[in-house]
Structure 1
Amino acid sequence: MTCQTPDVPVSSVAVSGSGVSNGVLSLVKGKSAQLTASVSPSNATNKTVTWSSSNAAIATVTGTGYVSAVKAGTATVTASAGGKSASVRVTVTDPSSSQRFSDVPSGAWYASSVDWAASNGVVSGYGDGRFGPADSVSRAQMVALLYNLAVKEGDAKAVSYKTPKSSSFSDVPVSAWYAKQVSWAAAYGVVSGYGNGRFGPADMVSRGQAAAMLRNFARYRGVSGSSASASFSDVPSGAWYASSVSWVVSNGVASGYGNGKFGPSDVASRAQAVAMLQKLDKLTASPSSSLSISGDGVSDGKLSLAKGSTVQLSAVNVPSGASTVTWWSDDDAVAVTGTGLVIGVKAGSGVVHVQAGGKSAVLTVTVK
């Protein structure tokens, strides 16, 4: 009789190395560091580790975990084994660089934001030494910026997202440079199409649209933020973008023009976009809330319900000092009771919020 030893699955992977702190490794251009992956349990059947970099133009990694800093920016280095993985965000600086772009003077109001975005791999220039701060931003470009921000923040869903084999939009071919980013954003509710099967990748982003995308990104990252209202003479209270404009303004992500107007129909510039992203990153890079929502069918911050059905939700990791747990929904397609029972009222989607002890979490609910 032959006895077979049962496979022992990998339960976790951890990455360490000199200079790694809280999942971040800082390197100067031209320098290197040796990373080590620890696979648990020690008797796992498949302990073979593979290494990868999200952007080899910024930081490369060998098959043994040796990381080399190529140019200024941010990349995510990942170690995988037995279906599990762990990542380190590598930030590369270039002390020899003074003025990064020829058309971004050091005294410009947006200079520090452009430098932040370029250093962290959120944006790049045109290749001729220019950044184009006054140039307009297309919908495809805005989604790409948000995807890059998610990667910069070490978001696992963005880092591991793969380009789909088919596109959900008729005007977004899978071969397009922005196909993965648009698919990711649509899949996680960061952006939506026009309702006719089109996304409009070449259409310019208005400030109203940008506000909605930024707010949706914060929800995706689990940040509710302030819900205070903001009043502008050119933002009607019933406009589809009104609540998003209030959100970005009340949370310090964007501001008006100083004359009582926000300019929701104005096209957003590249300088404005990176300035808003830098402010958004302060909210979403390390979400202040470890609170989360669980329940039958909840996955990746989303839940699908049939009209008329219910699911009992639970708040997980409620702060010990919290006296109350508050639930609410921001759309009439979805209702939620004070105990977390969510109800599919009508076809559509909405966001369920929970707050406890100063912490918050959100769940996107789709009713079919």
Structure 2
Amino acid sequence: MAHTLFRRLAPLGLALTLAVPALAAGMDTFVPDGTYPGFSDVSAGAWYAADVEQAVKLGLMKGKGDGRFDPQGQLSAAEAITMAAQVHSAYTGQNFTPGGSPWYENAVDYAEENGLILRKEFSDYSAPITRSDMAGIFAYALPAEELPRINRVASIPDVTSSTAHAGAIYLLYNAGVLAGTGDGTFSPDAPIDRSSAAAILNRLALPESRVTSALDTPVDGTTVENTDGAFRLTFGAGNWEEVQQDGAAGLTFTDQNGTLKALSFAKSGQNAATLTDFSVSRLTALRDALGGVELLEQPDVILFRGLPAVFYRYQEGTTVYTVFSVENSNSYVELTLAAPAGSEDAYPALLHTAYTLDLAL
């Protein structure tokens, strides 16, 4: 099931803190100390043998009965949801007991109550889950701070801004949880087998298992690095130029769809201690400059290219402005997409360009 980009991270008033629940047990709870019974269909020499053993010892996967694991079997939505619920409950210290009628009922209820899935997101929980839908569940099993960037993934060849759960996919790539296929693609619409799910699940629960990636697939167009080195953008047909505004260095791009502006604000020149503080200060300055602003969409925290971002939207005249604020190591980067109101094609096209944003580590 496809979704818009905006989903499931905590809503933002004009003062937001993303906090770990008080009962959090943390990452130390994931210790592969359970019993591994062995499976008749998992040979010792198989590439996935160690991953299957570790996932079972973590208590996050089990066999299919009759001494089998079914490594090539397709992972179902119910299985993926159950795994994510187990990771989330172990980390937060919340109570979760698999079971119910049908067997996945408790997992679905838990996942819906804790924002791991949307209500009625899946029409058939026994059906194979796509790789993108799996990423869209696993990405929310842990808070974003437990999935820090270790990779600088410029582009995943078959993942665009319109791909279901694109933000979650980029988050897990940058965190070293996902590694894609051998040719660098992700195959978002394909099913995933249980052996591959075991490897991904281990990387999610055990940071030391995460993998580095040199994936730097070029995007068609002209790639330009900002003068301060904080980010790169790739532009297609249109006009781009360097700009200086509000004490920030940046780039603008204009084509038939509208204008994209990206500005990098050095943290050393800001009073903002957090990304939220920065976004609120920028929104406040905008309100004062315009003599008031009526927001079409209130500030919210979303995933943008795998990065927690503060998002809001407003209209001035016949133009709708969509603003994303993301955090780099030494700067805050603000992207503003300006497209005509009522256009069905302009905003997605600008968002496609914005999705080439590549922040420095």
**How high is the TM-score relative to the length of structure 1?**
0.48
More strand by share: 1
- With a CA cutoff of 8 Å and minimum separation of 6, indicate the structure with the bigger relative contact order: 2
**How high is the TM-score relative to the length of structure 2?**
0.49
